[in-house]
Structure 1
């Protein structure tokens, strides 16, 4: 609390009381009205029965654990392997997308921070940002066209003789994983870039002069500095991937159901907001627990990520 007060005092002295009050009020409104209250409302819904409108607020409108029990046991009281399996598959897919993004974005962020300069650096940034001017849904449809049976990928593969018949990349989830990796790539690159940029280039040169290989330089010198940025980017990519809806709807195969699609079905197709809220709370708790576990494993604190 003392550190927070010192930070607020320093910010007020630097920018003035008016700016400090405006920023504080904006953050308060954002957190309370757009995060806390909607989540509390959803949590309240998740403990309610799905009643006709006339019975809401009546004697039958009481709290219950039935919506959560349904997730674990279903209607027949047995283990709900289908819904739990979909949740596990969604989490595994989110981890895979996050790992792929880290593998792609780490070298790009390092080059952008310590190798590219002048025009080359600006062109790299423009090349990364400009494609995201296109709407996310349009990008998802573009990936569906790209990986379709008559799309560019199959056309090149067939023309080059890599395969004899078109490959169903949609059913194999290749299009889905590619679309999700691309959708959140900026959220991984820039946190890593911000962390790596703070690294003194002389440390890298000193390690190279002492005979360290590039692999060892990155493992012992760069990665400890980049770790908070990697965890920050991985957190955002993982949470957004697990909560994605548009991309799984457009790019997912007919047998591939995302957990967010289950939530969507409860809210919109079944008109059961109470059960949909329970499923949303389960997804939120699982995602936050997984992220907290990873932070503990990699020994990264919230403060380090915030920097």
Structure 2
């Protein structure tokens, strides 16, 4: 038995330890690995009628992946410009949402982690309570707020900033705000958990030595909070790139999300192999992009798991 497993069972007890390991194994293998392997298998299959599945025509093929790049045969275009544009726009938008959330949530997490008092608990509770409401209902509430006759346009036209209501939905401001709001806690609390353990004397020492506030954060706080920042950014980026409800509800006519294409392939076109290929491409691309960014900023998996 590996030493780390023996230490785990000794620390938690043999019975409870085996139960926890069994649950983790079930979660990892049964709910993550096996469904993804099934999706991968689907992505290499042709789209056949049910009677022909498992027959001589049901062989592995790369046509589903070629369709994403080149489109249908005889389509008259060198590349599948529409789907590729939606794919890259989804990734860029997910990166923008992640950066926006990091800029917004870092000061909040720092304040929560380095300030003492009962009002911090009240502030944390105020952040959590809105998430007792279902994500779909929150998205519809944001659509009402950002609508042409919504609260925001009423205020902006009332104070004279706009002569006519601004279309926040068609210009995708509502979508980006909705995605940022949907995952804000996933950015705040990983950073907060790390910053809370930072010795405040280090910050005071930097102030005594004459360091400005921006240098204190750049040299002291951010390097220390890197595990939390890495974890928060990873979760927000992956969930933003794979979001479906917010783009469906808050997206404008020209803001098609790649997950909506996947949904259309599975449900509207009943082309599960094509939808599976699109899903696999999105998953693999997001993972590779996260790993590349981790390597660029010298972050390892151990940092994210802290």
Shorter-chain TM-score category?
over 0.9
Question: In terms of mean alpha carbon deviation, does 244-253 or 192-201 score higher?
Answer: 192-201
Equivalent residue, structure 2, for 1:51: 48
Contact 2:44/2:61 (CA < 8 Å) preserved in 1? yes
Q: Deviations over 1:154-207 (max 9, x none)?
A: 000000000100000000101101111000000000110111112111100000
- Rounded to whole Å, the distance in 2 between the matches of 1:212 and 1:19 is 50
Runs of 5+ consecutive residues of structure 1 not aligned to the other structure: none
Q: Deviations over 1:226-283 (max 9, x none)?
A: 1111011000000000000000000000111000000000000000000000000000
- Rounded to whole Å, the distance in 1 between the matches of 2:229 and 2:197 is 14
- Rounded to whole Å, the distance in 2 between the matches of 1:184 and 1:6 is 37
Equivalent residue, structure 1, for 2:211: 212
Give runs of aligned pairs for residues 1-307 of structure 1, distance below 5 A: 5-75=2-72, 76=75, 78-115=78-115, 117-307=116-306
- Rounded to whole Å, the distance in 2 between the matches of 1:11 and 1:45 is 38
Contact 2:263/2:275 (CA < 8 Å) preserved in 1? yes
Deviation at 1:11, TM superposition (A): 2.5
Contact 2:226/2:303 (CA < 8 Å) preserved in 1? no
Secondary structure of the equivalent of 2:225? helix
Deviation at 1:118, TM superposition (A): 2.7
Q: Deviations over 1:48-94 (max 9, x none)?
A: 01001000111111110000000000013621111111011000110
Deviation at 1:19, TM superposition (A): 1.2
- Rounded to whole Å, the distance in 2 between the matches of 1:67 and 1:285 is 15
- Rounded to whole Å, the distance in 1 between the matches of 2:41 and 2:304 is 31
- Rounded to whole Å, the distance in 1 between the matches of 2:37 and 2:242 is 18
- Rounded to whole Å, the distance in 1 between the matches of 2:122 and 2:6 is 39
- Rounded to whole Å, the distance in 2 between the matches of 1:300 and 1:278 is 30
- Rounded to whole Å, the distance in 1 between the matches of 2:270 and 2:66 is 19
- Rounded to whole Å, the distance in 1 between the matches of 2:18 and 2:85 is 47
Q: Number of aligned pairs? A: 303
Provide runs of 4+ in structure 1 moved above 6 Å.
none
- Rounded to whole Å, the distance in 2 between the matches of 1:265 and 1:184 is 25
- Rounded to whole Å, the distance in 2 between the matches of 1:106 and 1:13 is 38
Secondary structure of the equivalent of 1:212? coil
- Rounded to whole Å, the distance in 2 between the matches of 1:15 and 1:61 is 49
Deviation at 1:138, TM superposition (A): 0.2
- Rounded to whole Å, the distance in 2 between the matches of 1:78 and 1:140 is 38
